[in-house]
Amino acid sequence: MTNPASQSIVLSNISEVERDTGVAKETLRVWERRYAFPLPLRDPNGERIYPEDQVQRLRLIKRLLDQGYRPGKIMHLDTDALAELGAKCTPPAPLRGPSDPELALCLGLLKAHQMHELRQRMAQAQLQMGLRTFVMEIVAPLTQMVGDAWAAGQLAVFEEHLYLETLQSVMRNAIFAATQHGSHATARPRILLTTVPLERHGLGLLMAEALFALEGAHCVSLGVQTPLAEIVEAARIQRADIVALSFSSVVSPRAAIDNVIELRSRLGETIQVWAGGSCAMAVRRQLGPHCVLDLNDITGAIGRWLAQHAAAQAVVPA
């Protein structure tokens, strides 16, 4: 007789684990030899397959590595210890937290796959609160909750994608409405928003775009994973004053620093590079506080740009 429990075990091949966790296949094999983890099973063809509990543990390890931990210090830890260590590294909580009824309701609708209801709920909240407050008090903490639920194995990849598509729909409509009325200063920065090829997450860009637009900036979004050469070409064709990048925890701090420095070199001194996201915040000291911004910094950053632009215009000969 077949053991029913064995039928419920979720197994992933090495390519699926790479996509799910962000850990390269080669790295998984090295860890297996060096640290005796992960310990994959083998399918009838001898190929590696990974139980879900190992995949969840790998997710937590990847998040800690992105925050600066070394593999040798954490590979021996079990899932609970990794989760506890990760909680200590979590950035300060936003204005609302997981216990907030509105956020809990939205997360519940996502888990229940009630996407139409979730879209309506979020659109209604945006209209009632205004775009800025909606971004800061609903979108930012809810996105953090969704990411944490995914890392803990409580949400599947496709559910995270459903959230992304739903939120993009609501945010795009709100950004369009916000830019159709209200007067803006003649001098306003042209901001090109994108991510480098290593970064596949775009919600940070979307939140930043909303706040940039409310400050009167002209925003051009390229989406995610744009090669550096194409970012440079687009910035020049679009006459961008600023290139804004987002780096989430899937990108290593070293990679974030290297990409920003390389992009600065290619763009020259006339186009600024701004970076946001949890990974960028971890390297704020290295890149500088005027380069690395969180959502609360955007108003001040636009104000500084306008002041610099006005000063530069004042010294131009008539």
Q: Where in the chain is the domain with CATH 1.10.1240.10?
A: 101-178
- What pTM did the predictor assign? 0.68
Nearest residue to 219 via CA among 175, 252, 260: 175
Q: Give the pLDDT of the chain (318 residues) as one tens digit per residue.
A: 333 333 346 788 998 888 778 788 888 999 999 999 999 999 999 999 999 889 889 988 987 887 778 888 899 998 888 888 876 665 544 457 778 899 999 999 999 999 999 999 999 999 988 898 999 999 999 998 998 888 788 999 899 889 999 999 999 999 888 776 544 445 589 999 999 999 988 889 999 999 999 888 999 999 999 999 999 999 999 999 999 999 988 888 999 999 999 999 999 989 999 999 989 999 998 998 889 999 988 988 888 888 887 777 766 554
Q: Does domain 101-178 have CATH number 1.10.1240.10?
A: yes
Q: Fold for 7-89, please state it.
A: Multidrug-efflux Transporter Regulator; Chain: A; Domain 2 (1.10.1660)
The CATH class, in words, for 190-314 is alpha beta
Q: Where in the chain is the domain with CATH 3.40.50.280?
A: 190-314
Torsions phi, psi for 12 (to 5 deg)? -125, 140
Host H or E run for residue 135:
none
Q: Where in the chain is the domain with CATH 1.10.1660.10?
A: 7-89
75: helix, strand or coil = coil
